[in-house]
Amino acid sequence: MSESPINSSSSSTKIRTISENNAEDSAAPSSSSQRVPSEASSNILVLYYDCLERIFSLLSLEDQLNFSRSNREIECMFRNYAQRKYKHITDRLEESDLEYLVEQVNEHVISYESLSQPSYGDEEKLRLLGKHCPMLRRLRMTFMRVGWEDLNQLKNLNTLDAFIQFRIFYVYEKFFLNLSENLPCLRKLVLEAPGYSGKELHVLKKLQHLEIGHFCNLDAKSLVDCCIKMKNLHFLKIGRWPNNLTNKNLSAIVANCRNLETLEFTCNELLNNVELERVCDLPRLKHLLVVLQRLERPGLIEGLVRRTGTPLESLIVFDSYLCKEHIEHICNITSLRELWVASEDDDFNVEHFMKLKSLEYLHLEMDGITNKQLLELVLGCPRLRVLNVLDCPNINSDFISLLNRSSKKLKETNREKITIYLNGSYVDWEENSSFKIDNIHIINGYLKSSILIEKEFDIP
């Protein structure tokens, strides 16, 4: 939830004082738009509704709530404003303020995100949501105690981002069984549960999107059970793959996840002997994100190049520096719309990237790349929309000059706007954080995450 800028305390105090002094004059609600201001009147309610809405927008959320409480007529106006403004609540409020806000917005609240550290305090907030927000679709919250009656009231919930930590392990099983029985619309689960093995998670048969965090101690059998039972699973992200994963387990996952479109996983050293290239046999795989300490099995890349079925659109390889030959192989996957690769090999050829005619988002960790090579990439990939260069000490202000001199050629490609991120460069930014050259925006900084996966796989 985006909050309005915080106004000075003196301004908000003055507004509250005016409204409090005139509370008796406004005991009976009426439309502010009907009022005609009087020269002698100091009553703030003579303002048109648009003016009051502007006042709301200039106040912090806390001041908005205090202002609203000061007068029944102002509260009515705030209610209309809040029901449009606060459909998505990111909670930084005291409990009493949150209760007042959800009472005003009630069934118009679509999503709620708790920003507090994992604690027992979320339980009272859940009670408020269960009571006032029956149309809530997305929820982020901590669960640390037994008793989920308030959660069960959220029958329209389709996305749950949960940090759970129970003292007794069988309570985890009861929690997921409760979700399966009482939340019929649940389709997306983002789970962080330290030490949890994943047992009985498979009861959530209707899930389409499953993310399991790094701190879960996931068991291979539990993961296989999920893949067997969740027939409509489209998105699977595993923060830490099970240490006891075998080729048989992996084959079972591939055999049962026939609808899987996105796969994200972290490979640890214990999986070096597992044939990870088997994931290339997933028939509908469109997006693959892997975190590799080093590429022990080049068959994974070779399998991606040879695979048939749905064309691969995203390949994100984090934390692994690839050799020139590996990158050349990857550039043969001509269907790619997004690519993230890293290399310490100075002897690479940017011409291989020119094969990727569908490429829209390119992330490079190649500290050897030069001004000329970077320009060749911009000119040679006509559909490129984002070029994210994470480490480029050889790039300097000459690159800006090259772009200026090539502006005519760039216009001839009829490309849309392109954004170039340069991190660790020696461009003279002249105390600016960015430059613009026609439809090119050059930014001093970098992107930390991929783009296409986030765009395409959000449950509405």
**Domain residue limits, the chain:** 9-84, 87-186
User: What is the rounded distance in angstroms from the CA atom of residue 345 to the CA atom of residue 358?
Assistant: 25
pLDDT in tens, 150-185: 999 999 999 999 999 998 889 999 999 999 999 999
Nearest to 78 by CA among 16, 126, 131: 16
Q: Which residue has the higher pLDDT, 315 or 269?
A: 315
Average pLDDT taken over every residue of the chain: 86
Q: In this predicted structure, what is the pLDDT of residue 5?
A: 37
Band (pLDDT 50/70/90 cuts) for residue 17 is very low
Q: What is the pLDDT of residues 323-361, one digit of tens each?
A: 888 899 999 999 999 999 998 887 778 899 999 999 999
Report pLDDT digits (tens) over 273-307.
888 899 999 999 999 999 886 776 778 899 999 99
| Tens-place pLDDT, residues 55-103 | 899 999 999 999 999 988 889 999 999 999 999 999 888 889 999 999 9
Q: What does pTM read for this prediction?
A: 0.85
What pLDDT does 320 receive? Answer: 83
pLDDT of residue 115: 78
Please give the pLDDT value at position 457: 63
Give the pLDDT confidence score for residue 44 in this predicted structure: 62
On whether the CB atoms of residues 271 and 294 are closer than 8 A, the answer is no
Which amino acid would we find at residue 184? P
Beta strand 434-437 with 440-444 is antiparallel
Q: What is the pLDDT of residues 227-285, one digit of tens each?
A: 999 999 999 999 988 989 999 999 999 999 999 999 998 877 667 788 889 999 999 99
Residue 26 confidence (pLDDT): 40
Report the phi/psi class of residue 424: left, alpha or beta, with left for phi > 0 and alpha for psi in -120 to 50: left
* pLDDT of residue 28 exceeding 50: no
Percent of all residues in the chain with a pLDDT value above 90, rounded to a whole number: 63
For the record, the structure tokens of 313 come out as 């659109």
Longest dimension (CA), the chain: 85
